[in-house]
Amino acid sequence: MTVKKIHISSFGTLTDVDIDPSEGLNVISGRNESGKTSVAMFIKFMLYGMPPARGGGVGERQKYVNWKTGEASGFLVVRTDDGREFRIERTLSDTARGGGKGQYRETVSLVNAVDGVPVYLSGSVGEYLLGVPEQVFVNTAFVRQATGVRPESEPLSRSVENMVTSADERVNVKKALEELDRARIDLLHKNRNGGMIKDLEEKRRSLRETVDEDRENSEETVRTEAALDEIRRKLTVAEENSKGFEGLFAALDVLSKKRKLDAAKKTAEDLALAEGKLEKERSAAPGDDFDGTVGLCERNIEAYSKAVENYNSTPDPDGEFLDDGDFEDDPFNDIRRAEGYRSSSRTFLTLGVVFAALGLLGAGAAAIMRFVYPMAEWLYAAAGGAALLLFSVIVFAVGGKKRSDLSRILSDWGAPSVDELAGSVRETVEAKKNALDMKARKEKAEGDLVIAEAAAAESREKLEGLAASLGIRMKDADDSGLLAAVRRTAAERRAAVAALESECSQLSGRLSALREQTAGIDPDETEAAAKAVLSAAAGQRAAKMTPDEIKEAARKRDFCRGSLIEMKKKENELDVRLAALKASAKSPAAAAERLGEIDSVLEDLRLRHDAYVTAYDALRRAGDNLRSGVLPEVKAKASEMMREISGGKYGELSISPGMDLYFTTVDAGTKEAEFMSSGTEDAAYLSLRLALIKTIFSGDGKSAPPVVFDESFARLDGDRLEAALRLLTSPSFGLQSFLCTCREEEADAAESAGGYVIRF
């Protein structure tokens, strides 16, 4: 329910105040004594009034009836959750005007704001609009400054249970059940053979027999009987209409069963067809070893490509150095021999020159001596010179051989001189070694290529086999193209299998659900019933109805049922009235009067008995529902809100079977409420109240109330205050709320969160 307008004519210290609240969070901000609490109490006053003081203390009436005007009055304009708008007007007047006698007169009216038609109230306005009594509203949606966030009265274990089951947390459910059962037995025993009702029924039967003997009809009796005949005529028409609706919905029920059976049959056929396709696709899909085989083929083909690239990139060895073959001796011996040949040639050259010079000197001496000395002496000199010349020739010859060997060594190594021979030898040896290494690399690359080519050919053959098994026809395709085609086709086949598996799973789930829905339906009986229904006008109409038409028909049926109940109630009232009239017209008058009294008392006792039975059953069921349904729902909602307010620190708010309150934190485990800080406790009870609102006010005929907080967040720190305000302004919360506060920082935080601030 949403409060659209608040007009306070006179309430507490406030007079002639108008407030147009928003549909979300409304903050009533002001200093102490500014009237914030009066606004909160005014909303409750409009819905439930103000009870008189108990125990001689100062009650709400003395506190909020304006001492100048002598009244507490005003009006609210509200819109219920089903879209209806009402105007609530209430006035509480102090008839003694301060005389201290506590005499008050209260008037209240509830008017439909659209057509101006007043609403008849058998209880409070709050019970009519919200569907719950005042105690439930106070202990959930109305958080007063004096009591704090935690609900009042008994410990939480009984407080929450009684709040849900008995609408009053001061009532003990178990004791209430015992009292209700005792009160029921006092009125009427279970076997109906004793109790106040049984005794009065016996007296009434005796008096009725006496009164019926002498009853005389009167003019008013005739009018009552005529009215009774008229209402019965209308009842007949309404019952005929009701039968028509019942026939229509009976036909809809039969046709609905038939449609479910047809849907189950069609789903079974679709499932069989899909399973056949799946089996076919599975047989055509690649096997378990497919990925391994394709991966191996891909690696072999890639290895062959790399082997070709390696072979082509490896250079051929230099044939010049390979043709010479290996060195016969140590190549560095030629360096040592060349050094020796160079030294020897120089020595023999020197000796040859010396011996040649000496020979020439000997020859010259012989020529001179020929003319100076006798013949024999010059011959000796000539012979010695000739011998020296001959020896020099021999020495030159040996030295020339040495130089020839040296030239040959230098020529073999391509060195211009002995000094450069060592470098030439090293270069030639290194080139020879490089040529041999290159030859070995080339030979290894050639061997790897042969092996890779064989593996690639085998892989190509396997790929062609896989392609053929997958139905791929690619003439003259290269390896990469064939590999891509095989992978693509395999993926398509697997995707087809996955899609069919998903389809089969969905169809199987749907079929299971339909079979569960049709488990108790006999197909033959339903088929026959459907044929019979379709042959009738109601069945033909039902078959053509759209979902919207069915909803409209259900609405009319419910309206017809309601009319029947009202007319039967009216018929019963007329019956009672007619009985009373006839009783008053009979003689003796004393017996007739006594009979009327007994009828009235008996009716009241029966109503009380039925109320006791209903209350007992409802209270017992409510206690069971609290543990099996309501309590888990309250726990889940409260835990979710607690996590949001605490920023995720408290993972769960638990209520034990004994109704003890626990907190579950992310770092410290589970703790009882009494061991937590006051701010944490307030946040938890705030979450519990909001969860109770979401649960209690979710039934038919109930509107969620506006939530009123009067200085309720004082013990929350900044982060939790902001989280609580975000919760109250979030679309998921979806309830109108009023926060009365004197703290400016609270009002600013609420305004930042999207709340509407009204400053007093």
Q: Which of 692, 684, 686 is nearest to 631 (CA)?
A: 692
Q: Which residues contact 594 (CB under 8 A, 6 or more apart)?
A: 207
DSSP state of 53: P
Cα separation, 743 vs 29, whole angstroms: 7
Q: Are 646 and 723 in contact (CB under 8 A)?
A: yes
Residues 359-376, buried b or exposed e (16+ Cβ, 10 A)? beebbebbeebeeeeeee
Q: Are 128 and 134 in contact (CB under 8 A)?
A: no
How many other CB atoms sit within 10 Å of the CB of residue 355?
Answer: 20
CA distances from 428 to 178, 315, 341 (A): 121, 19, 21
Ramachandran assignment for 210, one of left (phi > 0), alpha (psi -120 to 50 degrees), beta (any other): alpha
Residue where the block lists tokens 């004096």? 146
Cα separation, 563 vs 237, whole angstroms: 11
Q: Which H or E run contains 90? A: strand 85-94
Q: List the structure tokens of 676.
A: 């937590």
DSSP assignment string, 429-498: HHHHHHHHHHHHHHHHHHHHHHHHHHHHHHHHHHHHHHHHHTT---TT--HHHHHHHHHHHHHHHHHHHH
Ramachandran assignment for 167, one of left (phi > 0), alpha (psi -120 to 50 degrees), beta (any other): left
Cα separation, 417 vs 407, whole angstroms: 9
Query: Residue 629: how many CA atoms within 13 Å on its side-chain side?
Result: 9
The rounded Cα 508 to chain-centroid distance in angstroms is 26
Q: Which residues contact 381 (CB under 8 A, 6 or more apart)?
A: 362, 365, 366, 369
Handedness of CA 192, 193, 196, 198 (dihedral sign): positive
Q: List the structure tokens of 620.
A: 């017992």
Residue where the block lists tokens 């205050």? 721
The rounded Cα 522 to chain-centroid distance in angstroms is 40
Q: Which of 126, 101, 484, 123 is nearest to 301 (CA)?
A: 484
Q: Which of 21, 15, 36, 5 is nearest to 744 (CA)?
A: 36
Ordered strands of the 2-11 beta sheet: 14-19, 2-11, 71-79, 85-94, 104-112
Q: Are 388 and 380 in contact (CB under 8 A)?
A: no
- Reported pTM: 0.44
DSSP assignment string, 285-302: S--TTHHHHHHHHHHHHH
Query: Residue 591: how many CA atoms within 13 Å on its side-chain side?
Result: 18
Helix, strand, coil shares of the chain, percent, nearest 5, are: 65, 10, 25
* Amino acid (1-letter code) at residue 509: G
pLDDT at residue number 212: 62
Cα separation, 240 vs 402, whole angstroms: 149
Residue where the block lists tokens 């579950």? 664
pLDDT at residue number 80: 93
pLDDT at residue number 483: 84
Cα separation, 654 vs 670, whole angstroms: 9
Residues 52-82, buried b or exposed e (16+ Cβ, 10 A)? eeeeeeeebbbebbbeeebbbbbbbbbbbee
Cα separation, 358 vs 350, whole angstroms: 12
Cα separation, 39 vs 8, whole angstroms: 8
Residue where the block lists tokens 């019963």? 572
Judge residue 176's burial from the number of C-beta atoms within 10 Å of its C-beta, 0-12 exposed, 13-18 middle, 19 or more buried.
Answer: middle
Q: List the structure tokens of 32.
A: 């102490």
Q: Which H or E run contains 654? A: strand 650-655
Give CA torsion, residues 570, 572, 573, 576, to 10 deg: 160
Q: Are 12 and 64 in contact (CB under 8 A)?
A: yes
Helices (H), 214-289: 219-284
Domain ranges of the chain: 317-413
pLDDT at residue number 164: 47
Q: Which of 152, 13, 146, 155 is nearest to 714 (CA)?
A: 146
Cα separation, 334 vs 338, whole angstroms: 6
How many other CB atoms sit within 10 Å of the CB of residue 83?
Answer: 7
Q: Is the peptide bond preceding residue 133 cis, with omega within 30 degrees of 0?
A: no
Q: Which of 571, 593, 563 is nearest to 580 (CA)?
A: 593
pLDDT less than 50: residues of the chain: 56-57, 99-100, 153-159, 163-171, 325, 658-659
Ramachandran assignment for 335, one of left (phi > 0), alpha (psi -120 to 50 degrees), beta (any other): alpha
Handedness of CA 569, 574, 580, 583 (dihedral sign): negative
pLDDT at residue number 376: 59
Cα separation, 683 vs 621, whole angstroms: 30
CA distances from 323 to 66, 319, 326, 436, 440 (A): 129, 6, 9, 11, 15
Helices 631-645 and 718-729, axial angle in degrees (round to 10): 120
